[in-house]
Amino acid sequence: MSKKSVIMCVLTVLMIAYIGYALPLTWSMGRNARVTGMTVRLSDPNSRFVNVADVIVETELDPSTLKDSLIRSFDLYGLERRLLASDKLQDANVTLRSDGHIYVDVTPMVPVARVFDPKEPSYYINASGKRILAELRYHIDVPVLVGSFDSIHPAQRLLPLLDKIAGDPRIGSMVATVTQEPNGNIILIPSIVGHVINFGDTSMIDDKFERLRRFYTHVSPAKGWLAYDTISVKWRDRVVATRRDKAIEPLPIPTEDEASGNLDIDNNEPQPGDSISHSNP
């Protein structure tokens, strides 16, 4: 047998011996390995909706006893599911490093609107429609949604409209409040006091705001800003304005001279209470 063959045999025996020793030892160490700690990291450390202490509460874990937990029995995915179910968090990712340390990375709730519904307590919603109960410590300057919301007309159906309002400074400065009627009609309450806007639904958002702009540019300055109490853009290619003064004017009583045929009444003049339709003003 050559010297090289002898060396290969010796190395093979040593390798088998090492594996025979290391595998049981590694298995034993892994079986008894324990969690060494947990670190919570927020994507937005300045979030006003959640802090590190809040996330620890949402984990339902006791940090003081966490190091007693065996890694092999720790429910990593269960922890992640609990965090994702929290109304304070938009996203969560839990990882376990080789040293036994758990890292919890979370994205706090980012509200886009606050909802006031008479049927339930006020709450905030994010861009996907997820809710968070409005607590006293939370006060975020976001658009307000007021009205009756249900499974047919949920609050999140207004999110495309809110995105448009938030993304256009001119529109954002014009709209003060967004409301929804029981029949689903979306009503905008503008900063311009004196009228409301019936927006209908969230279809043709850009077109509706363009028609509204034309109305404000061409009609309101001529007719007066207080001439109408409702401006509707819910119908395609139309702007329908309802007069503010809907009282019926008293009929003129002819005098003796007028009874002879001199009374002049313009029957073509629109009367208070009529709706005036403007197409593409």
- Residue 120 buriedness (CB in 10 A; 0-12 / 13-18 / 19+): exposed
Band of residue 197 on the pLDDT scale cut at 50, 70, 90 = very high
* Residue 108 three-state SS: strand
User: How far is CA 31 from each of CA 26, 131, 178, 254, rounded to the nearest angstrom?
Assistant: 8, 41, 58, 106
pTM of the model: 0.58
Query: Is residue 171 a part of any domain in this protein?
Result: yes
Percent of the chain at pLDDT exceeding 90:
16
> Which tens digit of pLDDT belongs to each residue from 232-277?
999 988 899 888 766 545 545 444 443 333 333 333 434 444 444 5
Mean pLDDT, the chain, as a whole number?
78
Which pair of tokens denotes residue 116? 């006031």
Query: Which residue pairs from 249-252 have beta carbons closer than 8 angstroms and sit at least 24 positions apart in sequence?
Result: none
State how far the Cα of 262 lies from the Cα of 247, in Å rounded to an integer.
Answer: 27
**Residue 280 has what pLDDT?**
45
Q: Is residue 217 a contact partner of residue 223, using CB atoms and an 8 Å limit?
A: no
Let me know whether 169 and 190 are in one domain.
yes
User: How far is CA 194 from each of CA 219, 228, 243, 273, rounded to the nearest angstrom?
Assistant: 15, 8, 11, 16
Q: Given 65, 93, 108, which residue is the final one in a domain?
A: 108
Let me know whether 115 and 235 are in one domain.
yes
Res. 205: pLDDT tops 70: yes
Polymer length of the chain: 281
> Which tens digit of pLDDT belongs to each residue from 40-73?
999 988 887 788 988 999 988 888 888 878 887 7
State residue 109 phi and psi, 5-degree precision: -55, 135
* Residue 113 three-state SS: strand
Which range marks the domain in which residue 224 is found?
Answer: 111-248+272-278
> Which tens digit of pLDDT belongs to each residue from 28-46?
444 567 888 899 999 988 8
> Which tens digit of pLDDT belongs to each residue from 90-146?
899 999 888 889 999 999 988 888 888 888 888 888 877 888 888 766 677 777 888
**Residue 255 has what pLDDT?**
46
CATH number at residue 90: 3.10.20
